Structure 1
């Protein structure tokens, strides 16, 4: 699925990928890809700028770690990020319910 198709949902997906704990950028990409059975295979050019934007908004914080001998920037949720994720889930539940309701087949007698 393209990054364009995820517009408006990317922040929530990124926040959800960090819910279990800190991850470096590529691990975030892998978590999105693996957690969606390959549907969300986003390029670094989409994910890294979005993580920086979320950091600037105070929803994630970053730091440096060493993974397999390499220094990597890791990202983790802030308390504000956890609240934003909760809000995103509520918004998504309401949106997906409304869309599902509209897309369900209707009986012929319905107007």
Structure 2
């Protein structure tokens, strides 16, 4: 489908919020988790613009911390607004998934 990329961008925002909600994490680790979940074509060049967008929307905030493996890393956390957005995303996804399943099974 031609619009796979646009659909995926919106869904990735919700997925990233969920990953960040579990524990503090940084960009590369988010990419690795997405790959582990099956998003094989995901790259850092896809994830970092989403992280920037989520910070601009005040759904995430970040703190630079020392890394035991090298340079400082930017760790991401959900804001209160991010928690609300994640809950809304999950509710919306459940509804959309149910509707699509109805069509595909019907």
TM-score w.r.t. the length of structure 1 is 0.83
Q: How far apart are the structure 2 equivalents of 1:65 and 1:12? A: 25
Corresponding residue pairs, total = 101
C-alpha deviations, 1:29-78, integer Å up to 9, x for none?
111111x1x33441111110110110011000011011223211111111
The structure carrying a bigger helix percent of its residues is 2
Question: Which residues of structure 2 form unaligned runs of 5+?
Answer: none
CA 1:88/1:52 → structure 2, altered by over 3 Å: closer, same or farther?
same
> What TM-score do the two structures reach when normalised by structure 2?
0.87
CA distance in 1, matches of 2:26, 2:13: 16
- Consecutive aligned runs of 4 or more in structure 1 exceeding 6 Å deviation: none
- Aligned CA RMSD, in angstroms, stands at 1.5
Task: Look up the SS of the partner of 1:62 in the other structure.
Answer: strand
Q: Which has more radius of gyration? A: 1
